[in-house]
A and B are shown apart, each in its own frame.
Chain A
Amino acid sequence: MQTKKERKPIYSILIEHREIPLLAVLAGKSWLNVLKNGSINMVMCCGMLCVLLIGSIDISITAILAFAGAVAGKLMGTGVLQSTVLMFLLGIAIGAVIGAVNGVLMSYGRVISLIVTLSTSYIVRALIPMSWLLGMNKINPTQLTQGFKDSLINHSFLGLPFLVWLAVLVVVVTGVFLKYTRTGRNLYAVGSNAEAAQMRGVPINRIRVLAHTICGATAGLAGIMWLAFYAAIEKGSALGDEMFTIAACVLGGVAVTGGYGKITGVVIGAVMIAFIDSAIPQMGIGNSMITEFIKGILLLVAILLNVILQRIAEKQDLARRNI
């Protein structure tokens, strides 16, 4: 049986080579913007990490984001829901339910996660423009209470807005959960070798459902954060951004095949994606396609370098032992 080798995380190389010019561009107070813009993706990355750890994937997160935001926003707009805290709880609940459905279909129904989540993203996105939800309209600032709009941006602690603190909180909770709880470590076990885990009495299907539920919940939370940050949500919100969440995880050294990944890596990956998002418009190129181009190259270089360095390290290892 193949053992998992310690990998050298990708970001260490990137910090050495690629990050410096970007940092130079971003001198000034824009680091705050980077953190603000990156927080929502960061929260989703935590959920994505859990799913990737069990060797699954979830591409429905941004659909969940838009759906949870739309439902909560609609309820606030019609006056049913006025409490900011309840909004967040509702978002998490909606996300968790959809995530659980994903998980059940994936584990008990034995449908490949890519297909399940592709389908749910189609379905969930198609629900948003239905007449009982948003119809042709979008949620705009006038439909939200002032308290809700202020909650994440205008309150700050130690100079950072609550939006960023919320992301930090999610990161810390996920980190502790994965490292210090039995269930969290079981995620790694299921991802690296499901059969072995099952032999040792890990309820693998339940763990899989749990991972997807967490991922859905973070996506739902991200939807409410989105709503509070941008004070608007519509059918196409965050369309296609799930790829950048996955990219952030991969940049952070998470193995898509499951079983390997650290929360610290994911944090750095997410911050890097946020850097690119904020830095490229500043370089004056100002074009989303160029942003994608650079993200693509960066992602490609990062993952390939990771593999190449790993191979070199292995070779040196063998040479040292005269094999």
Chain B
Amino acid sequence: MKKVLALVLTLMLVFSVAAFAEKAGEGITIGVVYKQSGNAYFQAGVTGFEQAAEELGFEFMHDGPDDGSSDGQIRIIENYIAQGVDALCISANDPAALVDVCNEAREAGIKVISWDAKVDAEGRDLDVEPASAKVIGVTQLDSIVNSIGGEGQIAILSAMATAPNQNLWISFIEEALNSGDEKYANIEYVGTVYGDDEYTKSFNETQALLEKYPDLKGIIVPTTVGGPAVCKCIQDAGRDVKVTGLTLASDMKEFIDAGIADETFLWNPIELGYASSYAAVALVKGEFTGAVGETLEVGELGTLEVTESDDGGSILFLNKLNSFTRETVDAWVDIL
């Protein structure tokens, strides 16, 4: 009898181990930190983590500061360190400010991944980004050039003047405009204004733009908060100005249908979260070091290769940019 019992127990143990083995991330806890709480874009990112958690079996916690500040993020990261997470996935409000606290986490054996917005190379193990900054910037520029028929004045409405992502994209847009390319010969770029990722501020800045440049033809809005504000302002003013940019489909559906925006873009933040969690689990398990040239199996997304980033660290690009047009926006409304 005892032997039978022992056998049953052993079998149970074996099966349970087998059951564990099916899910690669069992027992791993990941702390996800994003830029700001109450931002639908990051809600989508968290959905990606949820999907991956179902497949891999890891647990995760997520939080972002109330005010979008880096010291708020530092506070959250320290709380996660105190709770003993295995990996951190951070979308940084400032690439430089988080380096020290990230290194402290790494000393404690925690793997640090930045996603969506980087932490400087010396403070991270890997950076996961949707596409290279150049692609993101130039795609938006080409789109607005098409929308307005190749000639006229364009402006940019960005987020905070200190936002690193936006500043990088804008620098590539400016570079393309100054490259002497035939496509942009009749485009006049009037400048960038900053809406601070605040709805009213973006609205007021757009109003001022419209008044100051009566011949303005197009506005590029490389920030999800600004998009609907700019479109609403143009709609109220009744002007014929086209908009493109990085926006959520649900925010923009109304304005795409109304013809204010022909096409807007966004990578899929769900996929971004999904890929980050695969990378985090692989790093924690030691199957993957995040060195340049390595490859990573990312579930549904296939195999991705780590490349070297501008700042000398390693980076993982998804290289997928979705476009929302009148035809495709309905399919995305409930997702993003």
Contacts and interface: CB of A to CB of B under 8 A. Distances in A.
Interface stretch (B166-174, B207-215, B297-305): B207-215
Interface stretch (B71-79, B114-122, B192-200, B319-327): B192-200
B228 A286 contact: no
Nearest to A285: B193
A24 to B, nearest CB: 14
B196 A288 contact: yes
B39 interface: yes
A153 interface: yes
Contact of B43 (A28, A136, A237, A284): A136
Given A140-B250, A141-B228, A286 B208 contact: yes
A225 interface: no
B201 A288 contact: yes
Nearest to B161: A287
A200 B223 CA distance: 59
A264 interface: no
Given A230-B199, A232-B199, A33 B40 contact: no
A221 to B, nearest CB: 17
B10 to A, nearest CB: 44
Contact of A141 (B66, B193, B209, B232): B232
Contact of B200 (A136, A230, A231): A230
Contacts of A28: 211
A231 B38 contact: no
B49 interface: no
A30 to B, nearest CB: 5
A141 to B, nearest CB: 5
A28 B211 CA distance: 9
B220 to A, nearest CB: 15
A135 B43 contact: yes
A278 B208 contact: yes
B229 interface: yes
Contacts of A235: 37-38, 66
Contacts of B228: 140-141, 231-232
B107 interface: no
B39 A136 contact: yes
A222 to B, nearest CB: 12
A28 B210 CA distance: 12
Interface range on chain B (Cβ under 8 Å from partner) = 35 or more
A134 interface: yes
A37 interface: yes
A287 B194 contact: yes
Contacts of B254: 141-142
Nearest to A129: B38
A140 B67 CA distance: 20
Nearest to A154: B236
Nearest to B190: A284
A316 interface: no
Interface residues of A, number: 34
A142 B207 contact: no
Nearest to A26: B211
Interface string B39-58: 11011001000000000000
Interface in B54-100: 66-67
The secondary-structure label for the interface of chain B is helix
A237 B66 CA distance: 12
B253 interface: yes
A85 to B, nearest CB: 22
Interface string A183-198: 0000000000000000
A45 interface: no
B207 A33 contact: yes
Contacts of A257: none
A234 B250 contact: no
A234 B37 CA distance: 11
B42 A277 contact: no
B26 interface: no
B146 interface: no
B204 interface: yes
A282 B208 contact: yes
B203 interface: yes
B151 interface: no
A262 to B, nearest CB: 28
B53 to A, nearest CB: 17
Contacts of A37: 204, 207
A230 B37 contact: no
Contacts of A278: 204, 207-208
Nearest to A37: B204
A235 B193 CA distance: 23
A135 B196 CA distance: 22
Nearest to A241: B200
Interface in A209-245: 230-232, 234-239
A136 B38 contact: yes
Contacts of A30: 207, 211
Interface in B224-262: 228-229, 232, 236, 250-251, 253-254
Contact of B40 (A138, A236, A281, A289): A138
11 contacts: A134-B38, A136-B38, A141-B251, A230-B203, A230-B232, A231-B228, A235-B38, A236-B36, A236-B38, A281-B207, A286-B205
Given A140-B251, A234-B199, 10 more contacts: A136-B46, A137-B40, A140-B228, A232-B199, A234-B38, A235-B66, A237-B199, A282-B208, A282-B211, A289-B161
Interface of A: 28, 30, 33, 37, 125, 128-129, 134-138, 140-142, 153, 230-232, 234-239, 277-278, 281-282, 284, 286-289
Question: Closest 9 interchain pairs by CB?
Answer: A281-B208, A136-B43, A235-B38, A286-B193, A129-B38, A282-B208, A141-B254, A137-B40, A281-B205
